[in-house]
C-alpha cells in the first residue's frame, strides 16, 4: 500500500526538519516497518514523492496554516483508512464462524476427542 506519511519532529528550520524526518523514516525502513520512502524534495522517482502525489510541501511549521492543513489532512486520511479496514474486519467476522477464523488464521484444524 502506498500513502503519504507525515512525520512530526522538533526542528528550528525546514532543513533540520527534513533531515530529522529522513532519520525517522530510515529507522522505520531498517526496522522493517517500511520497504522504502521518498520525500517531496526528490524528483524523477516516477512511482513516489511528487511524481506520484504532486507538489506537496517538503516541510512546514506545525503552527502555520500549511502545517495545520497537513495535520488535518493526515488525520482525516488516517480516520478514513481506520474505518475502511474496521468495516472489512466486521464483514469478515460476520461471514466466518469462530472455528473457521481459528483454523484459517492459525493454519491448522482443531480436533477434539470425546
Q: What is the pLDDT of residue 90?
A: 97
* All residues at 6 or more sequence positions from 28 whose CB lies less than 8 Å from its CB, including other chains: 34, 37
Q: What is the pLDDT of residue 113?
A: 60
Q: What is the pLDDT of residue 26?
A: 95
Q: Is the pTM of this model over 0.75?
A: no
**pLDDT tens by residue, the chain, 114 residues:** 678 888 999 999 999 999 999 999 999 999 999 998 888 888 888 778 887 888 888 899 999 999 999 999 989 999 999 999 999 999 999 999 988 888 888 776 656 565
End-to-end CA distance of the chain: 46
Burial class (CB in 10 A: 0-12, 13-18, 19+), 6: middle
Q: What is the pLDDT of residue 104?
A: 84
Per the listing, cell 524528483 goes with 43
Amino acid at each position: 500500500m502506498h500513502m503519504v506519511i507525515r512525520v512530526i519532529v522538533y526542528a528550528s528550520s525546514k532543513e533540520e526538519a527534513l533531515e530529522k524526518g529522513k532519520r525517522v523514516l530510515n529507522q522505520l525502513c531498517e526496522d522493517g516497518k517500511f520497504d522504502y520512502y521518498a520525500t517531496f524534495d526528490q524528483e524523477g522517482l516516477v512511482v513516489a514523492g511528487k511524481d506520484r502525489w504532486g507538489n506537496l510541501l517538503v516541510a512546514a511549521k506545525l503552527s502555520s496554516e500549511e502545517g495545520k492543513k497537513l495535520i488535518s489532512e493526515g488525520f482525516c486520511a488516517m480516520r478514513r483508512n481506520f474505518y475502511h479496514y474496521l468495516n472489512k474486519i466486521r464483514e469478515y467476522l460476520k461471514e466466518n464462524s469462530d472455528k473457521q477464523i481459528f483454523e484459517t488464521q492459525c493454519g491448522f484444524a482443531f480436533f477434539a476427542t470425546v
